[in-house]
A and B are shown apart, each in its own frame.
Chain A
Amino acid sequence: MYVAVKGGETAIANAHAFQAEQRRGDAAQAPLTLGQIEQQLGLAVDRVMGEGALYDRGLAALAIKQARGDLVEAAFLVRAYRTTLPRFGYSLPVDTARMTVLRRVSATYKDLPGGQVLGPTFDYSHRMLDFALAADAGEGGGGEAPGAPLAEAPLDPAMPHVTALLDSEGLIQPEPPAEPDAPPPGDITRDPLLFPAPRDLRLQSLARGDEGFLLALGYSVQRGYGGSHPFVGEIRQGPVAVEIVPEELGFAIDIGDIDLTECEMVNQFKGSRLRPPQFTRGYGLVFGWSERKAMAMSLVDRALRAGELGEERRGPAQDEEFVLYHADNVEGAGFVTHLKLPHYVDFQSELELIRRLRAEAEARLARASAEERAAADAFATAAV
């Protein structure tokens, strides 16, 4: 009996069982624990938290394990779970000036109040595979590095933002202070993004946007598709306190710390008919230790401000609909992969159409050549 290629429930269940088996891999290997993922693949966890838009290291580690290390799939798992979570309220804005800084670098000043703090970084490491790490952890400790030495003196607790230093001279465009009657920032996880999008919504979209996409756009800005001349004013990383004001208390309470990476990019601006020359800002803020993404984000944020600064839009990074509609990898991955779903009804209608158009075109051609032959015959007859 003829059966069209259609998947029954059994086929789907079997496919998922097969995937679970592949995920586990060789049973002779010890299974990964969430603690191992959280501790030893911390930057993967950070990326999944950022793009999954949920700060929970344990859930991110679970998602990474379930997704077999596919971080885009893991971010999707976290997002889908996030949908089901109740919302208790909004925190106060986090104050990154009060961050417990573990890393802080500025490219614009050799030294500055609070100093340069290198912190944990891949920078200046030679990217040579470290075969000591390949040794099995079970046999002789696995060649793991000993702990890092402690600094001789604690860091200066005062770590002013570099942009605040420029601000005091009036050299950098001030961030507009929140007006008392201004509406609270929007929330792209509750309301659809509409265009033109204000900066709060742009920053939210970028903060959970795909790192690869932002990296490419930021790179394009540097190569001339958007004409920016950026300097890293400052990158800072470390834990920041999150505070909420419960209605019944009426004052702020600290509910814990989250690790953040913040990047403030200082950009040249030559001025326009409307504004004197001044430095302008690009801003990046990402969950966890995600320096590359925070930097790319700050480049793209600045590029998207072309409109308000009266700059000509020349590159894709300056086009807010292009950037914001395509930055989300959960949306993008879904829509790209949906092409493997059956489309045979639309395809059938296209088939019918193409066949009809071809038949008509061939009929026209045949008619034309018949007319041509007739004309040639008539000419020949006349000539005789």
Chain B
Amino acid sequence: MSIQEIQDEIVSEFEILGDDRESTIFYIMEIGNNLEAFPEEEQKEENIIKGCQSKVWLIADEKDGKIHFQADSNTDITKGLIYLLIRVLNDRKPEEIIHADLDFIQKIGMGGIIGSQRSNGLAAMIKQMKLYALAFQTKLNASNGN
């Protein structure tokens, strides 16, 4: 599925939840359980994303020209948010990630659900994922002799 298709899928999932804020937050907490287990030794200072109130660790690896993200957090709501981002952006080529327009966040009204502090944190997570993509792209281009 393309980035856009997955985003549309998420939007329709949130539409089913309707307007009840509490159920939406419970749902976000619940989906965080789908995150791949994060290696404990990677829960270190250098992997923490700056700009998040809660702790968020993010690491990335490249395989066959695609980027694989792993992330974790000390709060359940944040875990759910990262899970959504990873679901959309994982195992894709760097340029796809760099140019991804993550319109699902606005479409599901995430800002209104999670509030301004967490929205800033979410923006910081996206920025960090795109920075990883940019770094891998530069590295891949260099090794391809471009």
Answer yes or no: do A and B interact: no
Residues of A within 8 A of B (CB): none
| Residues of B in contact with A (beta carbons under 8 Å apart) | none
